[in-house]
Structure 1
Amino acid sequence: MIRKIGLLLMVMLISVSFAAATASQDNGYTIVPVKSDITITPRWVTNTITQGETDWHSKQVSSYTTCLHIDLNWEDSSDSLRLRVYDPDNQHVGTFYDSYDGSIDGRINIDIRNSSGIDLGTWRCEVYGYSVSGTEDYYI
Structure 2
Amino acid sequence: MIKKIGLLLIVMLVSVSFAAATSSQDNGYTIVPVKSDITITPRWVADTITQGETNWHTRTVSSYATSLHIDLNWGDTSDSLRLRVYDPNNQLIGTFYDSFDGSIDGRINIDIRNSSGIDLGTWRYEVYGYSVSGTEDYYI
TM-score, length of structure 2 as denominator length: 0.91
Listed as ranges, the matches of 1:93-132 within 5 Å are: 93-132=93-132
Q: 1:15 Cα shift?
A: 2.1
What residue identity is the alignment partner of 2:31? Answer: I
Q: 1:22 Cα shift?
A: 1.9
Q: Which residue of 1 aligns with 2:27?
A: 27
CA distance in 1, matches of 2:120, 2:104: 32
Q: 1:76 Cα shift?
A: 1.2
Identity of aligned residues (%): 86
Q: Which residue of 2 aligns with 1:55?
A: 55
Q: 1:32 Cα shift?
A: 0.5
Indicate the RMSD between aligned Cα atoms, in angstroms: 1.7
Q: Which residue of 1 aligns with 2:85?
A: 85
Partner SS, residue 137 of structure 1: strand
Partner SS, residue 78 of structure 1: coil
The answer on whether the counterparts of 1:43 and 1:139 sit within 8 Å (CA) in structure 2 is: no
CA distance in 2, matches of 1:75, 1:3: 45
Point out 4+ residue stretches in structure 1 off by more than 4 angstroms: 1-10
Q: Which residue of 2 aligns with 1:135?
A: 135
What residue identity is the alignment partner of 2:125? Answer: C
Q: 1:9 Cα shift?
A: 5.4
- Greater Cα shift, 9-18 or 125-134: 9-18
Structure 1: gaps of 5 or more residues: none
CA distance in 2, matches of 1:90, 1:44: 22
